[in-house]
Structure 1
Amino acid sequence: MTLILAGDIGGTKVTLGVFGLDVKRPRLRIAEGYASKDFPDFESILVRFLSDHAIRPDCACFAVAGPVLAGKCHTTNLPWVIEEKRLCNILGLDKVWLINDLAATALAVPLLKSSELVTLNKGIRRKGTIGVIAAGTGLGEALLFWDGDSYHPISTEGGHAGFAPTNLLEAELWRHVRKERGHVSVERLLSGPGLVRIYEFLRANEQEPEAAEAEQTPDNEKPAVIAELAMKGKNTLCKKALDIFVSIYGAEAGNLALRGMTTGGIYLAGGIAPKILKWIEKGRVMKAFSDKGRFSDLLSQIPVKVILNKETALLGAAIYSLPPIPDPRTPLCFDKPQELCY
């Protein structure tokens, strides 16, 4: 039996999983999660996982939040350096793959089941380039480029591009963050810490009572508390903050759709979207998504969906690790650089 070791290395959590081959897509057999802050480096997590589960994988790929250059990644939101060569030595494999986490997520999108998705905009179903945007500890964006015959993942660092306000309130928010941080990337606002930043901006500028629960919560837990208070209608500042947050989410998703001409759809991934789905479905996301002037009609035709499967990046990493499949009738046929042929 072929065993595939896959990993999803994020700023908050690292998930490692073992997959076996199946007819339609690799099947997850073992999964284990670890708090990133509890370990000095990724290798320590990997060694513990291998010891706990006594496995010898046949191939391995790790999806990591950050740019992968020449088989190495300096993680964006962790003080870690991860190298393919060092992982090969630990695993006893000739080759181990590192791939950007959003590129891995994009790879898995065509294999997701309908039960793993929530549709925000049905749009027009087309075979075309797919875009994935994921807000979590940071903000990731990627494309799955359709060349007419097959898909090719394209990783980006679009989350670190400049934030573009779409109204006067967002312009004031931009000025507020500019004073604090200098460069105002989209990630500074469209992420867990970004939601806190929006709340703090409103607290300083609005005549509304602050949220005592949020004020007393540790920083790493504040985004979840603010979102929960908003969705339960317990605090006006939290509701306003979440409204701004989802509007920025929709606007940036629309920007990605235009930049990548993603006629195959836009998919909201990451840890935040499923947790605030109730707020996302209210319509602010789609309003901001399609508010693109002369291209509003085009944007309204693009399917937009939320990914519910928490292990999508893990699945994508498993897919990427597979060797070429010679039979062209199989649903997955790979060649590095990776291709998906459907």
Structure 2
Amino acid sequence: MSNYLIYGDIGGTKTLLRIAVSDGDKTKSYYEQRYDSQAHADFNEILADFLVNAGMDKAKRYPASACFAIAGPIVAQQAKLTNLPWLMDATALSAEFSIPKVKLINDFEAVALGIEILSQDDLATLQCGVTNSPAMRVVLGAGTGMGVAWLHWQGDRYLPLPTEGGHIDFAPTTPLQMELLNHLTKKFGHVSIERVLSGWGLTNIFNFLQADATRFPGIAVMELTEDSGAIITRLAFEQKHPVALQALELFVEIYGAFAGNLALLGLCRGGVYIAGGIAPRIIDSLKKGSFMCAFRNKGRYTGMMSEIPVHVITNPQVGLLGAGLEAQRLIDTAI
């Protein structure tokens, strides 16, 4: 018997939805559409449009399950998105759209789930390390925000543990990073790691560096606001802009140290997976060495850190794939 399942990756910038047809062990994509999240009042508006465009109403086809990965914490199957004024409720979505099973999961929980079906072509390895499977894993990634999820082995597969690790304190490790912390403390009060490791975090670093005119004499100050991460990476790679180059280098160092902290905290011998929209765009910078140097720089545990595999996920749909796996499991558990 064929079942239709719907799943999506919903973030502050974009929403990607897909319908697939499940027939036993095989699942085939049926229809997919991308939306600008900021252009819509709520998710229900997007989902209604998507189902009409997919022709589900005309064909009298109704999804048997749905799983939506959301950039924000899930409480009692309700979610208030971190970077959008949307409130999502699984029970309400099930009732309004006649979908028997609807589940909301954290976006990085979905990324973590998706890792198990990635191929080697979907990964860029920064450190091969020593394979220890099954063992604890962690996935983190800078994009609109900073996401973190753990993966622990239970039974016959990895289970994700969603977190709000992007909101823990930024811990500087060099004098320049301490100056950055002081600068951002004056502006924000509490400085989470997301204030530094995200698109707008890279913008904060850039603005901090150019605030001191003695650092780059003769370089005109640029007015960059909010998330200008894409502009800064272009300035660095295409124009070799000195402020952008140092901002990116500082960003990479902090990224490596934070990834190392998470790996040490979880004893993640199963691997560290760098996701998010920024990492694939700066892969050459991540490979230069400062990322892994900061990752391994953990004092007496430097040797152990060199044994942990570290990969960058280059498949931009890993979160969508993870949500699809969970939507399929919802169907399987109903049989």
Map of 1:66-77 to 2, 5 A cutoff?
A: 66-77=72-83
Q: Which residue of 1 aligns with 2:292?
A: 286
Letter in 2 for 1:239: L
Give TM-score, length-normalised by structure 1: 0.90
Q: Deviations over 1:317-341 (max 9, x none)?
A: 1111223798xxxxxxx79xxxxxx
Q: CA separation in 2, counterparts of 1:114 and 1:100?
A: 25
Q: Which has the higher mean CA deviation after the structures are superposed, 12-21 or 235-244?
A: 12-21
Quick one: structure 1 residues 271 and 22, their matched pair in 2 at CA, closer, same or farther if it must change by over 3 Å?
Answer: farther
Map of 1:1-342 to 2, 5 A cutoff?
A: 1-21=2-22, 26-55=27-56, 56-127=62-133, 128-147=135-154, 149-205=156-212, 206-210=215-219, 215=223, 219-220=226-227, 222-323=228-329
Q: Which has the higher mean CA deviation after the structures are superposed, 29-38 or 294-303?
A: 29-38
Retained in 2: the 8 A contact 1:117–1:307? yes
Q: Deviations over 1:247-293 (max 9, x none)?
A: 11111111111122111100110111111111111111111111111
* Alpha-carbon distance, 1:170 to partner: 0.3
* Alpha-carbon distance, 1:147 to partner: 3.7
* Alpha-carbon distance, 1:312 to partner: 0.6
Letter in 1 for 2:289: G
Q: Which has the higher mean CA deviation after the structures are superposed, 22-31 or 99-108?
A: 22-31
Quick one: structure 1 residues 250 and 26, their matched pair in 2 at CA, closer, same or farther if it must change by over 3 Å?
Answer: farther
Structure 2 unaligned segments of length 5 or more: list them: 57-61
Q: CA separation in 1, counterparts of 2:90 and 2:169?
A: 31
Quick one: structure 1 residues 173 and 103, their matched pair in 2 at CA, closer, same or farther if it must change by over 3 Å?
Answer: same
Retained in 1: the 8 A contact 2:196–2:251? yes
Retained in 1: the 8 A contact 2:139–2:275? yes
Q: What do you get for the CA RMSD once the two structures are aligned?
A: 2.1
Query: Alignment length, in residue pairs?
Result: 325
Quick one: structure 1 residues 148 and 288, their matched pair in 2 at CA, closer, same or farther if it must change by over 3 Å?
Answer: farther
Structure 1 unaligned segments of length 5 or more: list them: 327-333, 336-342
Runs of 4 or more off by more than 6 Å in structure 1? 22-25
* Alpha-carbon distance, 1:27 to partner: 4.4
Q: CA separation in 2, counterparts of 1:24 and 1:300?
A: 39
* Alpha-carbon distance, 1:35 to partner: 1.1
* Alpha-carbon distance, 1:18 to partner: 1.7
Q: Deviations over 1:94-129 (max 9, x none)?
A: 220000000110011021011111111001111111
Q: Deviations over 1:6-56 (max 9, x none)?
A: 111111111111233489885444321111110111111111111111222
Q: Which residue of 1 aligns with 2:59?
A: none
Q: Deviations over 1:222-249 (max 9, x none)?
A: 2101011112352100000000111111
The secondary structure found in structure 2 opposite 1:232 is helix
Q: Which residue of 2 aligns with 1:340?
A: none
The secondary structure found in structure 1 opposite 2:125 is strand
Letter in 2 for 1:207: F
Q: Which has the higher mean CA deviation after the structures are superposed, 307-316 or 18-27?
A: 18-27
Q: Deviations over 1:132-168 (max 9, x none)?
A: 0010000000011124643211000000000000101
The secondary structure found in structure 1 opposite 2:191 is coil
Q: CA separation in 2, counterparts of 1:25 and 1:237?
A: 50
Q: CA separation in 2, counterparts of 1:116 and 1:208?
A: 42
Quick one: structure 1 residues 115 and 37, their matched pair in 2 at CA, closer, same or farther if it must change by over 3 Å?
Answer: same
Quick one: structure 1 residues 37 and 295, their matched pair in 2 at CA, closer, same or farther if it must change by over 3 Å?
Answer: same
Provide the identity percentage: 43
Quick one: structure 1 residues 114 and 38, their matched pair in 2 at CA, closer, same or farther if it must change by over 3 Å?
Answer: same
Q: CA separation in 1, counterparts of 2:30 and 2:170?
A: 40
Give TM-score, length-normalised by structure 2: 0.91
Quick one: structure 1 residues 63 and 210, their matched pair in 2 at CA, closer, same or farther if it must change by over 3 Å?
Answer: farther
* Alpha-carbon distance, 1:76 to partner: 0.8
Q: CA separation in 2, counterparts of 1:218 and 1:138?
A: 15
Q: CA separation in 2, counterparts of 1:3 and 1:208?
A: 61
Letter in 1 for 2:16: T
The secondary structure found in structure 1 opposite 2:101 is coil
